[in-house]
Structure 1
């Protein structure tokens, strides 16, 4: 039996609504996380750092807010790395020949990861070592 096409919303985009949309979106997110883990070594490295340092943050004798900041800074690095990987994949999909804007997009994404790593180091330094 043929499935009916997804309904169109007021904005004209096809898709699902309600709980089904949430379930579908969660599935797409998990698929993206699996792909990032499989194909992006930086994501694997940053996930490993998160897995190592989260228990350390939880065991430190600091306030709950400081624990949230320590773990949040690490999560932010992972989030920005995921976005950077997405940018790199889109640029690579467009073409393999060099283009100034493609290189700039990749460099800016890399810079965002670098800034988030600096922030994480700063947060950990300020809370743990001072």
Structure 2
């Protein structure tokens, strides 16, 4: 059985927007990170840094959102498989959360190093 539909640009865009709508309704972490992204983008525009530095900050900021989306997908699949406590299910969710934490840490380190280079 093949559950993969044929690729159509507009249908696939509709699926992506449906996923975004779902995540905005159900995932507090994503909404919080999206809220902070507004301030991050403002900060990127305000700092007196090179275009390369600004792109690094933008990319690492967007990466946080992407990894959070992947983490949410992992959590949804785990919840689909079992609602009962299972050590492997917990481990899968914890590893996804660790990926988000490392991505946020990477973004913060980039901010610190760039601000240090620009203003020190």
TM-score by length of 2: 0.90
Cα RMSD, aligned residues only = 1.4
* Moved beyond 2 Å, runs of 4+: 12-17
Match of 1:122 among 96, 105, 109: 109
After superposition, the C-alpha distances for 1:48-81 in whole angstroms (9 at most, x for unaligned) are 1111110210221111111111111111011000
- Equivalent residue number for residue 18 of structure 2: 31
User: Highest CA radius of gyration, 1 or 2?
Assistant: 1
Counterparts of 1:66 and 1:72 in 2: how far apart (Å)? Answer: 10
Work out the number of aligned pairs and report it. 116
Once the two structures are TM-superposed, the CA of residue 14 in structure 1 deviates from its matched residue by 5.8
TM-score by length of 1: 0.83
Once the two structures are TM-superposed, the CA of residue 98 in structure 1 deviates from its matched residue by 1.2
Q: Provide structure 1 residue ranges, at least 5 long, that are not aligned to the other structure.
A: 1-11
Q: Which has the higher helix share?
A: 2
Q: Which SS does the other structure have where 1:62 is aligned?
A: coil
Q: Which of the pair has the greater relative contact order for Cα pairs under 8 Å at 6+ separation?
A: 2
Q: Provide structure 2 residue ranges, at least 5 long, that are not aligned to the other structure.
A: none
The question of 1:57 aligning with 2:47 is answered: no
Counterparts of 1:13 and 1:113 in 2: how far apart (Å)? Answer: 29
